Amino acid sequence: MNYTVTWKPSAKDRLAEIWMAAPDRFAVAGAANAIDRLLGVDPLRHGESRSGTCRILVVEPLAVVYDAHELDRLVEVLSVRHVPRRPQTDT
């Protein structure tokens, strides 16, 4: 069963600011869509645990902090920030 994903208004506003300033808006939009998709399917399997019920998920170039309510099948994105892409290294 899927989860409903919502974004706090302040997180949506910050996402819009990040998108407007981004040199690659497609990457930001793609990351936001991927975040919604991943959290909507299984938010407890994705991301890393933080204090309480909060978790963090990084989908470059974004990182979100979210709260997952398993019984209600609800995820709320609390905040979002831009994370620089890590350089590719050949091994």
Distance CA 12, CA 15 (A): 5
Residue 82 confidence (pLDDT) above 80:
yes
3-state secondary structure of 87: coil
3-state secondary structure of 33: helix
> Does 91 reside within a domain?
no
**CB-neighbour burial class of residue 88 (10 A; exposed 0-12, middle 13-18, buried 19+):** exposed
Whether this prediction's pTM lies above 0.75 is answered by: yes
Residues whose CB falls within 8 Å of the CB of residue 31, separated by 6 or more in sequence, listed in order: 59, 60, 61, 62
- Give the start-end residues of each E strand in 30-73: 48-49, 54-59, 62-69
Q: Which domain holds residue 16?
A: 4-82
> Does 88 reside within a domain?
no
> Does 89 reside within a domain?
no
> Does 8 reside within a domain?
yes
How many domains does one find in the chain?
1
Rounded to 5 degrees, φ, ψ at 20 are: -65, -35
Q: What digits encode the pLDDT tens for the residues 8-43?
A: 999 999 999 999 999 999 999 999 999 999 999 999
Domain harbouring 76, CATH code: 3.30.2310.20
Q: What digits encode the pLDDT tens for the residues 34-73?
A: 999 999 999 999 999 988 889 999 999 999 999 999 899 9
> Does 57 reside within a domain?
yes
Instruction: Give the β-pairing of 74-82 and 62-69.
Output: antiparallel
